[in-house]
Structure 1
Amino acid sequence: MSQRLDQYSTAPELIKPLLEMEKALDGTELEFSLKELIKLRASQINGCAYCIHMHTNDARAGGVSEDRLHLLNAWRESSLYSDRERAALAWTETLTRVETQGAPDAHYKTLTEHFTPHEQVAVTLAITAINSWNRLAIAFSTPHPAAQEANAA
């Protein structure tokens, strides 16, 4: 796969608002690990290799265990995730797949049981941001770093 174009150098002024949103989200009360799980789960659903690679490494560097990373696709069946994380992951899946069912009241109710109104906005914007990043990376075939993996193979 070869990159179609580098969106960062081609249109930095258009990318800047997304970068600013990420910076604003970093300043919220949401835990680092929660934000990384949201980013990684949405990226898995969207099939964004670049973002899966980035957020797996970021989560690992931030202390998220290998088991929690490996089992993220099956979070419903694993005891490794808190109720708060489960609510965020369910909301992540709901909004990432919004075309299939919208955003049902039952899913939102679960979110409200574990997050303050301000946190609900932060979680929703975190999901919105990663879905935007996924679409940019997929649209322009942004390659993930593969030097070490290619050398190992």
Structure 2
Amino acid sequence: MAIVRTMTITENRLNMMKLSRDSYGAMLALNSTTQQAALAAGLELPLLELVRIRASQINGCAYCLDMHTKDARHAGETEQRIYALNAWRETPFFSEVERAALAFTEAVTLVADGQVPDAVYRETAEVLTEEQIAALTWVIVVINAFNRVAITSRVPVGDYQPGSH
């Protein structure tokens, strides 16, 4: 018999922007810095959004999924690729670079299950420069942090408008 958990999903536990203004502002600044570094390193915005979506899928963060699927579409990503992202290995829709970035995202996001495997790192290093890997790592670290904040505080989902962050 399955255990059914019920909760009010619209109930915001904590308003982290209000209660931790300085820390939240530092996270926003870190997010901006990491995105600028990733773009400067040659990683494209649609790829960064795919990475954010994939990490948010793994972590089960509804708010970040809502935000980054909207931002991905706003950045030109297709519905088909967004819908297939959870099964990216089984589709022909993603490039070699995207596949490496997604595998790396999964390994970093699931680091509690073990270290980032050498094979995943090697595959990533075959298609990305060290600068790109460093930038990608920070993007993944930041989205994982935001996932934890949004899940813990139960940020209400659905009202985010693309490009507003």
TM-score (norm 1): 0.92
Q: What is the rounded CA distance, in whole Å, between the counterparts of 1:8 and 1:16 in structure 2?
A: 8
Q: What is the rounded CA distance, in whole Å, between the counterparts of 1:80 and 1:72 in structure 2?
A: 9
Counterparts of residues 52-71 of structure 1 (less than 5 Å): 52-71=65-84
- Check if 1:13 corresponds to 2:22: yes
Amino acid at match of 1:56: T
Aligned length: 147
Q: What is the rounded CA distance, in whole Å, between the counterparts of 2:150 and 2:36 in structure 1?
A: 24
Aligned-partner SS, 1:27: helix
Q: What is the rounded CA distance, in whole Å, between the counterparts of 1:31 and 1:129 in structure 2?
A: 17
Cα deviation, residue 17, structure 1: 2.1
Deviation string, structure 1 residues 59-81 (Cα, Å, up to 9, x no partner): 01110001000000010011110
Amino acid at match of 1:70: Y
Counterparts of residues 36-51 of structure 1 (less than 5 Å): 36-51=49-64
Amino acid at match of 1:105: D
The partner residue of 2:34 within 4, 25, 43 is: 25
Aligned-partner SS, 1:30: coil
Q: Percent identity?
A: 41
Amino acid at match of 2:119: A
Structure 1 segments of 4+ aligned residues over 6 angstroms from their partners: none
Counterparts of residues 104-143 of structure 1 (less than 5 Å): 104-143=117-156
Cα deviation, residue 25, structure 1: 2.2
Deviation string, structure 1 residues 30-56 (Cα, Å, up to 9, x no partner): 200110000000000000000000000
Greater Cα offset, 82-91 or 92-101? 92-101
TM-score (norm 2): 0.86
Q: What is the rounded CA distance, in whole Å, between the counterparts of 1:99 and 1:68 in structure 2?
A: 27
Name whichever structure is richer in helix by fraction: 1
